[in-house]
């Protein structure tokens, strides 16, 4: 007997039971579903999409009157965007404050209270992002100190990027990108690719103006490099960013999206000490920011991520033993409107904290093959799909079934019927070797994440 009929033979009883089981009764509509958000299904999705509309960057948006016109400054655009966000926040809060006539609380709006038996929750300390050591709220300033704002595993590995690098003395005050031009050969000095081709000893990169760079092919990032988009609106499209076989990289205040081909937006492979902060990444055939093939000590923070199918793969494959040292921090991110892998963790330790998850269509958190996810004080808003974790791992039959992954939830907020199924795999949950400034998963935290993610520092002019 071949393997396929063998599997089918054992699945026949299960299929028979499923087919003969009575259909569950339809759930009656209840005003209680409006409690803590007053949002259910389609209404949530519509409101959420409107809420995030100013994050949606495509050619039409970039060519709209808001982004064009001689003399129009980007400060006007930023002020308009902030006002739109505030209006939507006020509307959303009004809905939450007036859930309807129900007198009973919505039992589906919960906060997980799991107590770890294999380690206590790390108590957050007063680590802030506004101290004198962390000046990145000032556009274009703080080259020597930007890395001091890093957090999570990237910070524990002392990431500095290109803070002290000068491209071998060629650019003692840092390299400034002055042109959007990108070509595969005959590189132009002043382009972003020029810096990657010639500043192999590391460099701190800034931009002279707002620009949209359309890469003609993948751009490989060197060790000891910072790409800092503060002070301008920097959009990178056309090709992926590859952080491969290097170390000590910082990407800050950039928008990267609409990447064609069978690729992720950013590949972090066989690399250590990477901090990705205040990015907006969206739309690729594969995923957004993958951390795979031996990469470790990576933090992705304060970023907006959207992709129709796969979102974020941490750990390359079930047989990728080289990912056993994987350590990733995902902090204060917004995972918006994706199907799955938000993230998916294999082999290593994945700390997901103070992040927002909205309108997923399959699951958010997935772990298998000894992967461990510590989900801490996150905010989940379900739409039509309620389960934030899958109800099983892998296939239902040998050899693809896997029960070695671990997912533990600590103080997560579950809204609109969101459900987390914890996985108790063969590896205990971990205590991260650092402290974060964690907020409780209240509506204030949700609002903070929505307003804080993505490129966030004022620009001096609009895209040309």
Longest dimension (CA), the chain: 75
Q: How far is CA 124 from CA 5, 283, 437, 448, in A?
A: 54, 34, 6, 18
Alpha-carbon distance of 310 to 56, in angstroms, equals: 18
Residue tagged active-site, from 286, 341, 408, 446: 341
DSSP codes joined into one string, 382-419:
-SS--BSS-SSSS-SSTTT-----EEEEES-EEETT-B
Strand pairing of 110-111 and 413-415? antiparallel
Helix, strand or coil, per DSSP, at residue 304: strand
Q: How many CB atoms lie within 10 A of CB 72?
A: 14
| Known active-site residue 408 | no
Q: How many CB atoms lie within 10 A of CB 399?
A: 9
Partners of residue 213 on adjacent β-strands: 236
Helix, strand or coil, per DSSP, at residue 121: coil
Alpha-carbon distance of 355 to 353, in angstroms, equals: 5
Alpha-carbon distance of 442 to 447, in angstroms, equals: 9
What H or E segment, with its residue span, contains residue 196? helix 192-198
∠ CA 225-221-156, nearest 5°, is 50
Q: Which residues are catalytic?
A: 341
């Amino acid at each position: 007997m071949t393997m396929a009929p063998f599997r089918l033979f054992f699945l026949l009883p299960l299929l028979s039971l499923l087919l003969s089981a009575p259909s569950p009764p339809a759930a009656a509509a209840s005003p209680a579903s409006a409690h803590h958000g007053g949002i259910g299904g389609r209404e949530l999705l519509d409101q959420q999409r409107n809420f995030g509309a100013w994050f949606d960057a495509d050619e039409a948006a970039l060519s709209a009157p808001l982004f064009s016109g001689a003399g129009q400054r980007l400060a006007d655009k930023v002020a308009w965007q902030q006002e739109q966000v505030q209006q939507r926040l006020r509307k959303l809060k009004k809905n939450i404050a007036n859930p309807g006539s129900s007198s009973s609380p919505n039992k589906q709006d919960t906060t997980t209270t799991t107590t770890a038996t294999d380690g206590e929750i790390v108590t957050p300390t007063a680590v802030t992002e506004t101290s004198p050591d962390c000046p990145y709220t000032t556009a274009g300033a703080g080259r020597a100190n930007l890395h001091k704002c890093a957090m999570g595993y990237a910070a524990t590995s002392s990431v500095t990027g290109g803070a002290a690098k000068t491209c071998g003395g060629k650019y003692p005050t840092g390299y400034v990108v002055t042109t959007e031009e990108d070509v595969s050969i005959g590189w132009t000095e002043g382009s972003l690719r020029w810096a990657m081709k010639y500043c192999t000893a590391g460099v701190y990169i800034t931009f002279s103006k707002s620009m949209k760079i359309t890469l003609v092919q993948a751009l490989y990032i060197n060790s000891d490099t910072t790409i800092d988009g503060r002070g301008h609106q920097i959009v990178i499209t056309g090709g992926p960013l590859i952080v491969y076989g290097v170390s000590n990289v910082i990407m800050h205040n950039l928008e990267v999206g609409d990447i064609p081909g069978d690729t992720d937006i950013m590949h972090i492979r066989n690399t250590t000490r990477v901090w990705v902060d205040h990015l907006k990444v969206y739309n690729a055939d594969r995923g957004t920011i993958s951390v795979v093939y031996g990469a470790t000590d990576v933090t992705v923070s304060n970023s907006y991520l959207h992709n129709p199918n796969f979102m974020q793969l941490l750990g390359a494959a079930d047989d990728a033993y080289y990912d056993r040292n994987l350590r990733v921090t995902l902090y204060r991110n917004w995972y918006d409107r994706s199907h799955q892998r938000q993230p998916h963790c294999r082999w290593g330790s994945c700390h997901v904290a103070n992040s927002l998850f909205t309108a997923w269509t399959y699951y958010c958190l997935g772990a298998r093959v000894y992967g461990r996810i510590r989900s801490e004080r996150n905010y989940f808003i379900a739409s039509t799909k309620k389960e934030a974790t899958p109800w099983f791992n892998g296939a239902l039959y040998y050899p693809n079934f896997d029960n070695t992954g671990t997912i533990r939830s600590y103080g997560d907020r579950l809204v609109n019927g969101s459900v987390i199924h914890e996985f108790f795999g063969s590896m205990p949950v971990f205590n991260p070797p650092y402290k974060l400034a964690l907020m409780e998963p209240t509506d204030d935290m949700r609002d903070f994440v929505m307003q804080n993610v993505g490129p966030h520092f004022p620009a001096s002019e609009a895209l040309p």
